[in-house]
């Protein structure tokens, strides 16, 4: 009897404990237990809606050349596309106020001068320019030397390409290009309008003495050696005379007509130029010859020739015209100012004697809409990039 009583009391206590637990759970039950079937829990704070991720915009970084261009006036841009004959002292101020892109020194600027006089003159020219000038010269060696004919500037004249090659091959050519560049740089000259990339092995040709006198492959190797050496010395080179001079007469004196077939140019004349381009030649000068297989215009005034150079030979550097004051152009244009026509053909840099007339014609062409400022900007950017590559902006 006592045993049953104890069991009943134990069961009662167990039921009491379980009931207490159930009551406690009901009192502190979680909020979800109180939800009705379709109810949702309300958050303490309304959650932020998820925003779609916007694609990042490209970061456009202006190059140094673009920054310089953006700060230039229209007149300054026009000035940059001219590579002018160095003005005489009495004309210096009126010419330099038009801010040319570069100045070319000729014999009259160097004959009888001391090294210090040339250095001082070039420093003066640079001081008169808002942007550093290209200061150029024709120092090919042999019959076309401007600097080394003056023993006060260089002890002995630089030999011709043929003499160099015959003496020591490409090694001698390369060493000569470095020595020549060091003399020019010391005088404040930063561009040498060389090497001659024309192919001819005929001593009777007008251009022959200025060439290396080899076939297209030999000439290409010569061009590569000179361009590499000049790039190493950080002086501007210029391949000339595109599309290849051949056996044409002197365009300083008269109109030259080249009637060779296209195949000759592709299989011969273009090869040294393409090699120079592959070796990072920064500039190419276009001749005044009328090449009838491409155009009836002088090459320097021919859009076809310039498109060929850009698109087929893939040259992206500075294209410059030969001197627009030469008789080949003067006679072809009946003495009309040729700068606008030459620029629209595709030249970036115009070699010219009468800078004032050229700049005035270009300004008028821009004002009248014949030349767009966008087209002008393209050429000025190439010129600025060349100057930057020569460290002229430092």
- Point out the residues that are catalytic: 252, 322
3-state secondary structure string, the chain? Answer: CHHHHHHHHHHHHHHHHHHHHHHHHHHCCCHHHHCCCCCCCCCCCCCCCCCCCCCCCCCCCCCHHHHHHHCCCHHHHHHHCEEEECCCHHHHHHHHCCCCCEEEECHHHHCCCCHHHHHHHHHHHHHCCCCCCEEEECCCECCECCCCCCCCCCCCCCCCHHHHHHHHHHHHHHHHHHHHHHHHHHCCCCEECCCECCCCCCCCCCCHHHCCCCCHHHHHHHHHHHHHHHHHHCCECCEEEECCCCCCCCCCCCCCEECCCHHHHHHHHHHHHHHHHHCCCCEEEECCCEECCCCCCEHHHCHHHHHHHHHHCCCCCEEEECCCCCHHHHHHCCCCCCHHHHHHHCCCEEEECCHHHHHHHHHHHHHCCCCCHHHHHHHHHHHHHHHHHCCCCC
Distance of CA 374 to the CA centre of its chain: 16
CA 241 to each of CA 13, 39, 197, 207, 355: distance values in angstroms, whole numbers, following the listed order:
117, 88, 7, 10, 22
Asked if residues 122 and 110 have their Cβ atoms less than 8 Å apart, the reply is no
- Point out which residues pair with 104 in neighbouring strands: 85, 136
Among candidates 80, 147, 91, which has minimal Cα distance to 354?
Answer: 91
* Cβ count within 10 A of residue 3: 7
**Using alpha carbons only, how large is the chain's radius of gyration in Å?**
38
- The token duo for 92 is 């210096």
């Amino acid at each position: 009897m006592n045993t049953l009583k104890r069991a009943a009391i134990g069961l009662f206590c167990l039921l009491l404990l379980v009931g207490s637990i159930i009551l406690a759970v009901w009192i502190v039950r979680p909020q979800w237990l109180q939800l009705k079937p379709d109810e949702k829990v309300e958050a303490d704070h309304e959650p932020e809606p998820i925003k779609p991720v916007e694609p990042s915009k490209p970061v456009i970084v202006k190059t140094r050349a673009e920054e310089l261009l953006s700060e230039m006036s229209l007149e300054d841009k026009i000035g940059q596309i001219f590579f002018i004959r160095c003005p005489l002292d009495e004309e210096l101020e009126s010419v330099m106020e038009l801010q040319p892109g570069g100045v070319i020194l000729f014999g009259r600027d160097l004959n009888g001068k001391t090294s210090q006089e040339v250095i001082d003159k070039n420093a003066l020219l640079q001081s008169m320019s808002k942007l550093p000038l290209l200061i150029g010269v024709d120092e090919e060696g042999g019959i076309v030397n401007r600097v080394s004919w003056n023993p006060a500037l260089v002890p002995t004249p630089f030999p011709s390409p043929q003499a160099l090659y015959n003496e020591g091959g490409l090694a001698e050519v390369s060493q000569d290009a470095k020595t020549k560049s060091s003399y020019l740089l010391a005088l404040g000259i930063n561009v040498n309008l060389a090497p001659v990339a024309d192919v001819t092995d005929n001593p009777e040709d007008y251009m022959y003495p200025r060439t290396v006198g080899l076939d297209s492959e030999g000439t290409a190797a010569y061009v590569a050696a000179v361009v590499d050496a000049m790039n190493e010395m950080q002086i501007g080179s210029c391949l000339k005379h595109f599309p290849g001079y051949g056996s044409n007469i002197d365009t300083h004196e008269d109109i030259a007509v080249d009637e060779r077939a296209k195949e000759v140019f592709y299989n011969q004349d273009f090869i040294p130029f393409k090699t120079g381009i592959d070796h990072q030649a920064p500039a190419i000068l276009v001749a005044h010859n009328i090449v009838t297989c491409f155009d009836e215009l002088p090459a320097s005034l021919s859009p076809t020739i310039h498109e060929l150079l850009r698109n087929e030979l893939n040259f992206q550097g500075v294209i410059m015209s030969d001197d627009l004051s030469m008789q080949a152009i003067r006679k072809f244009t009946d003495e009309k100012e040729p700068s606008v026509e030459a620029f629209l053909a595709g030249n970036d840099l115009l070699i010219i004697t009468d800078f004032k007339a050229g700049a005035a014609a270009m300004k008028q062409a821009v004002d009248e809409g014949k030349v767009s400022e966008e087209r002008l900007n393209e050429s000025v950017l190439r010129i600025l990039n060349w100057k930057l590559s020569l460290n002229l902006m430092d």
